[in-house]
Amino acid sequence: MGDYSKLLMTIFDCTRPMLFVNEDPNYPVSIQGTGFIVRFRKRYFVLTARHVIKGFSFQQVRFQYHPNSSDFVPLQRPYEISGDDSDDTDQYDVIVFSVEDSALDYEKFDGYLPYDLSELDALTIFNPTASYAFRGFPTHLRTTEYEQRRVDMESILADGRYGGPSIRREMHVLRINRAREIASFDGLSGSPIFQINHTDSRISQQAFAGMVVLGTAAAGTLEFLEHRKIIDALTKIVDGDVDPYDK
C-alpha cells in the first residue's frame, strides 16, 4: 500500500475474523470470513456478509474485542437486511449484530476501536482516481491447533483500483493491486473497504466505501456492497423500522 499516515491506518483496526464456538470439545472454535465493528449514531454494530455465518446458529457467533483477545463483544440478536430486487440475492448478503452497549467494556478494545461511521459516508462518490483499501482475514493464513487449544490468525492489508459498478445492483468492483501475491481470496467476505483521497503528500481523507461480498482470485477482483446500502440498513435499525431476526 501507499505510505498513509499512522492515524489513517487506524481505520482498519475495526476488523476481526469471525469466530464460532462449537459443542464438540475436539473442535471448539471455527473461523470463517471477516467482520467489522462500527459506531453509528451513538450505537455499536458488528457487520459481516450473511453467507459467512452459513451453517452456524446466531448463538455460536463470537467477535473479539481485538484480534488477540479472549474476550468477546456482547452481541445481541442480529438483523437480516432485505434488498429491493428479490432476484438479486447478493443484495441480501449482509447481516448486522447489534451490540449490548450496557455490557460493552470499551477499555478491552485496547486501541482496536470501532470505526466511526457517519451518514455522510453514503454521499461519497466512487472515484477511479482515489485509492481503495481493505483489511481481511483470509483462510490460508489461519492455523488451528485444537490439541493445544490454539488458533493463529493473520490479516492482509491490500489496496486496489475502482473498477466501476458491478452487474449486480448496488454492488461495485475493486481491482486488487498485486493480486497475485494473495494466495486466496477465501475468507475476505465481510471485510470493510475504505476510499482514501489524497489532498497532498501530507493530507489524506478516508470514507467507508462498502463491504466485500464476492471475490474472484483468478480475475484479481472483489465485489463489494456499496456504502449507501449498509448505512440505510443501520439507519432503519436505529430508527426501529426493522425487527431482529426471530428464527
Query: For 214-244, what is each residue's pLDDT tens digit?
Result: 998 888 999 999 999 999 999 999 999 888 8
Q: Which of 47-51, 128-132, 141-145 has the lowest mean pLDDT?
A: 141-145
The reported pLDDT for the residue numbered 43 is 96
Kindly tell me the burial class for residue 210, based on how many C-beta atoms sit within 10 Å of its own C-beta (0-12, 13-18, 19 or more).
Answer: buried
**C-beta neighbour count of 74 within 10 angstroms:** 16
pLDDT for 169: 86
The string of DSSP codes covering 100-134 is -GGG--GGGGTT-PPEE--GGGGGPPP-TTSEEEE
C-alpha 193: how far from chain center: 8
**Please, what are the domains in the chain?**
6-238 (2.40.10.10)
pTM flag (> 0.75): yes
DSSP string of 166-233, one letter each residue? -SSTTEEEEEETTGGGSS--TT-TT-EEEEEEESSSS-EEEEEEEEEEEEETTTTEEEEEEHHHHHHH
Average pLDDT on 40-68 reads 93
**Residue 175 is which amino acid?**
R
CA distance 242 to 62: 23
Q: What is the pLDDT of residues 139-156, one digit of tens each?
A: 888 766 555 455 677 889
